[in-house]
Amino acid sequence: MEEELLNIKNNAVSLILDAPDLETLEGVKLQFLGRSGKLTVAIKEITKIPQERRPAVGMLANEVKTTIENTIESQASNLKSQVSKKIREDIDVTNPGIGPPLGHLHLITQAIEEISEIFKSIGFSRVRYPEVEWDWYAFGALNFPPNHPARDDWETFFINEEPDPKYGPMVLTPHTSSGQIREMQRIKPPIRMLNLAKCYRRQSDVSHTPMFHQFEGLVVDRGISITHLKGVLDFFVKSYFGEKRQSRIRPYHFEFTEPSFEVDVTCGVCNGRARLPDGQGCRLCKEGWLEMGGAGMVHPNVLKNGGIDPNTYTGFAFGWGVERVLMMKEGIEIDDLRLLYSNKLEFLEQF
């Protein structure tokens, strides 16, 4: 038995020292120390030899195992050192490094920053007001009657909380227009506000998502007129969309402005033709124009609710969707708004 153990040791040490790489060394280790390895099997056979010889044979078996383990550890260290040395020799420190992949701002964030800079350049101050709002700020103070369809729970997300005795139910703000009242309560004219925030409505199709972003402009001062509103509209369209895109203003009705307008821009997907190059109708606009959003002169009742005398001050306001103006921007052809919030890297990485 002793001779067998010594032969196992000599064979193992020889194979270990001859191992050219770590993979071969691991194979030698399993050959002798694995569950069915030669030394493992030999140790199990010790129980079959006479009782008086077992202590001496057991000590020899332990010595053989220790020798094999130490030799494996030493050879592994040598092989790792050789690999490390070869890697160092293969490295050319004069080669440029490989930089880690870098992300970039999402399209919506890029649009928000660009919009903010455009209005900042003409004196607007950016603010932000609550996404969870009271009905009074979202509707009541903005001249919405109690039975207005926007106050229906099929249009607006209502929060399951007790209504406030003064301000009514709690809602996820359906538009940034609620910021008009809060801004007028916060400061007195002159006011040049740009409120940019998330909004929530129960809508989902190629041009709507339940959560979206709006930017709300409000100007209140002495002598403000439609001429000033048109000037700001034209400045934004030229600054953001470029000279190729056309815009139009048409009369409309909003509860919180009088007179009111809808601002339209030619579709960026079909270039205002209502049809794609292959002859199919444009899914996004259907008629060549896209609604950018509403605008108008601030209603006297809204000024009163904001604590401002409508006999002394006048103002204009506009509220547009960030996603909408982004989709209408020249050079970005997106025919489904929901794509902006998808996880499709092949789309997102383009921007």
9 plus 37 within the same structural domain: yes
Along the 351 residues of the chain, how does pLDDT read in single tens digits? Answer: 677 877 778 888 888 888 888 888 888 888 878 888 787 887 787 777 777 777 887 787 788 788 888 888 888 888 787 766 666 666 677 778 788 888 888 889 999 999 999 999 999 999 989 899 999 999 989 988 888 777 776 788 989 889 989 998 999 999 899 999 999 999 999 999 999 999 998 877 776 788 889 999 999 999 999 999 989 988 998 899 878 777 888 999 888 999 999 998 887 777 778 888 888 888 767 788 878 889 999 999 999 999 999 999 999 999 988 987 887 776 666 777 778 887 778 778 877
DSSP bridge pairs for 218:
193, 317
**Which of 61, 90, 119 marks a domain boundary?**
90
75 plus 120 within the same structural domain: no
320 plus 241 within the same structural domain: yes
For residue 216, which phi and psi values (nearest 5 degrees)?
Answer: -115, 125
The Cα 125–Cα 128 span in angstroms is 10
Which residues lie closer than 8 Å to 252 by C-beta, 6 or more apart?
Answer: 260, 261, 262, 294, 296
Query: So what's the pLDDT on residue 221?
Result: 96
**Any domain includes 245:** yes
191 plus 325 within the same structural domain: yes
65 plus 133 within the same structural domain: no
**Which of 60, 90, 120 marks a domain boundary?**
90
* Domain housing 212: 107-348
Query: So what's the pLDDT on residue 287?
Result: 81
Counted domains in the chain? 2
The Cα 197–Cα 236 span in angstroms is 18
**Any domain includes 98:** no
Query: So what's the pLDDT on residue 235?
Result: 92
**Any domain includes 97:** no
86 plus 157 within the same structural domain: no
**Any domain includes 60:** yes
CATH number of the domain to which 236 belongs: 3.30.930.10
175 plus 57 within the same structural domain: no
**Any domain includes 99:** no
DSSP string, 55-67: HHHHHHHHHHHHH
Query: So what's the pLDDT on residue 118?
Result: 95
The Cα 132–Cα 160 span in angstroms is 12
Closest to 10 measured CA to CA, from 49, 54, 68, 66 = 68
115 plus 86 within the same structural domain: no
60 plus 136 within the same structural domain: no
| C-alpha pair distances (Å), 214 with each of 65, 108, 198, 200, 275 | 74, 11, 6, 10, 28
Q: Check the CA dihedral 332-336-340-342 and report its sign.
A: negative
Three-class DSSP category at 258: strand
129 plus 76 within the same structural domain: no
What letters, b where the CB count within 10 A reaches 16 and e where it falls short, cover 167-179?
ebbbbbbbbbbbb
**Any domain includes 100:** no
**Helix 22-33 × helix 2-18 angle, to 10°:** 170
121 plus 252 within the same structural domain: yes
Residue with tokens 């038995």: 1
**Any domain includes 101:** no
Query: So what's the pLDDT on residue 63?
Result: 87
Q: Residue 221: left (phi > 0), alpha (psi -120 to 50), or beta?
A: beta
**Which of 90, 117, 133 marks a domain boundary?**
90
**Any domain includes 76:** yes
- Angle 176-229-180 (CA atoms, 0-180°, nearest 5)? 25
72 plus 142 within the same structural domain: no
DSSP string, 78-108: HHHHHHHHHHHHH--TTSPP-PPP-----HH
The Cα 260–Cα 297 span in angstroms is 7
Query: So what's the pLDDT on residue 264?
Result: 85
